[in-house]
Amino acid sequence: MMMRMKTILCFFLALTVAWAQFPPLDVLKQAALEMVEGRRTLTQQIVDSLFSFSELGYQEHESSAYLVKLLEKEGFQVTRGVAGLPTAFVASWGSGKPVIGFMTDIDGLPETSQKPGVPWHEPLVPNGPGHGEGHNSGQGVNITAALVVKALMQKHKIPGTIRIYPGIAEELIGSRTYMVNAGLFKDVDVMLSSHVSTDFSTGYGGPSGSGLVSVEYTFHGRSAHGASAPWVGRSALDAVELMNIGWNFRREHIRPEHRSHYVIVQGGDQPNVVPPVASVWYYFREWDYDRIRQLHELGSKIARAAADMTDTTVTERVLAATWPGHFNKPIAEALYENIKRVGMPAWSEDDQKLARAAQTELKAKPTGLKTEIAELRAAGEGRSGAGSDDIAEVSWNLPTVVLRYPANIPGMIGHHWSSAIAVATPIAHKGCTAGAKAYALTALDLLLKPELLEAARQYFAEQTKETKWKSLIPEGTAPPVHLNKEKMDRFRPALQKLRYDPTRYKTYLEQLGIAYPSTR
């Protein structure tokens, strides 16, 4: 015991000596703030580039290639196509502990194409994909912060490793479970994740957002002539419809905290052919592992009953899943202190004009952009809406926080073209610079304050003491990377013509010839 105490003492002594070589944390933080500011153009170029690629989940090929090229140029070692996800990668720089991860989504949404800076609906590509949530902006935050921290680590010989990960197909909850199962975060100490918001803030605790299982049910019947001998056929579409009717009647008797919704993916070919194959895709959302599983089991029971009623058979495929999130309090508190230090961006009158114009168009209150940082929030059931985010899977495997940086206009509709208006304009550029500052400062805290890392570990140990994460995806399931392929292939030629070229244009707005702000 005495020996162990001695070893520990020696260890701390050695660390103290080592830290004494570094400039004071506050001096490093001041330098980081200036360095992030000095990389504003890079931040803007990342934000605008990903916006112009507008790639849907699992099809983020150009976005991924662009980021990998940038990171390799900056000296990161990159492994591509990890966890069975062709567009995922792990970029690593540095050596030894601590290992600090940065992660954020890069996928867009169908039907949300929109000209940036224009407050009414004007798509870049009619019916095309777009960044109707703003996932184009997060890597601008993370990479800028990581590069600044890397420069300071190099200059002052601060030990540690930086990892950069993309969130693939987040709109389909499509990557983190697979990445966790592939062991990509095994040696990572802390994950700093970021997400676009109208606020500048973070939160801690759980449940943060609901969890879900995404399941596709496919029914198999028998084809026949729809008029001359329909009794010979068995309609798979009938089964889909009966499953949906069954689910919708049952819905009244499921606790209201749950959420469930579906789309019919395949409903047959033409009316005079009895559909031999039909499929329906469900999201089952609840607030803990057991309830999510029970909801999924209920769905499968109703699917089997529908198959029985129609003399068809049914198979199911789990496409994705996530737990509700639980975020690390000590890191969130440290991050929040840094958010307070950075403060909200200084919006220009033009930024506010665009925001108010968009709010007026959307019939929201014309309050403009927020000018005060939001409160540090403790999660609670129902408080954060019922949406899901698979960063939650990471949060159950290592200490994780989500930075919400102010890069969008309040009052826009989620998963809608209106949420794409601001995310390739000075509003997003400034919001991402502010976010990068907060994360650069927080990464420095983690590198130079061992007591913060220790507190984060202790909180995580407490969080996972009784509740042990296990994957909601059956073992051996491959990620459904076929999703969105056809849709994306259809729009690629039009999108390629609209690629942002930073060598010729200062901003994407300039390339598109859009006056900022455009108002009626």
Pairing of the two strands 160-167 and 313-322: unpaired
Say if CB 383 and CB 314 are below 8 A apart: no
Q: How far apart are CA 87 and CA 169, in angstroms?
A: 9
Q: Which of 237, 483 has the CB closer to Zn ion?
A: 483
Q: Which stretch binds Zn ion (CB under 5 A): 125-133, 322-330, 444-452, 472-480?
A: 125-133
Say if CB 374 and CB 172 are below 8 A apart: no
Q: Which of 321, 514 has the CB closer to Zn ion?
A: 321
Tally of CB atoms within 10 A around 188: 21
Query: Which long-range contacts link 306-309 to residues 24+ away (Cβ below 8 Å)?
Result: 306/219, 306/239, 306/240, 306/242, 306/243, 306/246, 307/219, 307/239, 309/238, 309/239, 309/242
In the three-class reduction of DSSP (H, G, I as helix; E, B as strand; rest coil), residue 135 is classed as coil
Q: Which of 338, 419 has the CB closer to Zn ion?
A: 419
- Smallest separation, CB 139 to Zn ion (Å): 13
Q: Which of 133, 216 has the CB closer to Zn ion?
A: 133
Q: How far apart are CA 383 and CA 380, in angstroms?
A: 5
Say if CB 131 and CB 500 are below 8 A apart: no
Q: Which of 106, 495 has the CB closer to Zn ion?
A: 106
Binding mask 444-463 for Zn ion (x = CB under 5 A): --------------------
CA–CA–CA angle 519, 374, 371 (5° rounding): 40
Token code pair at residue 364:
């929201």
Residue nearest to Zn ion as judged by C-beta position: 133
- Smallest separation, CB 33 to Zn ion (Å): 27
- Token pair 């469900």: residue: 282
DSSP count for the chain of H helices, then E strands? 15, 13
Q: Which of 148, 412 has the CB closer to Zn ion?
A: 412
Q: Which of 133, 393 has the CB closer to Zn ion?
A: 133
- Smallest separation, CB 150 to Zn ion (Å): 26
- Smallest separation, CB 15 to Zn ion (Å): 38
- Smallest separation, CB 81 to Zn ion (Å): 23
Name residues contacting Zn ion, limited to 325-344 (CB under 5 A). Answer: none
- Smallest separation, CB 334 to Zn ion (Å): 23
Name residues contacting Zn ion, limited to 126-145 (CB under 5 A). Answer: 133
- Smallest separation, CB 201 to Zn ion (Å): 15
Closest alpha carbon to 342 in 406, 429, 399: 406
Q: Which of 48, 133 has the CB closer to Zn ion?
A: 133
Backbone angles phi, psi at 69, to 5 degrees: -60, -45
Number of residues that bind Zn ion (CB under 5 A): 1
- Smallest separation, CB 309 to Zn ion (Å): 38
Token code pair at residue 509:
């707005």
Name residues contacting Zn ion, limited to 229-248 (CB under 5 A). Answer: none
Residue numbers at the binding site for Zn ion (CB under 5 A): 133
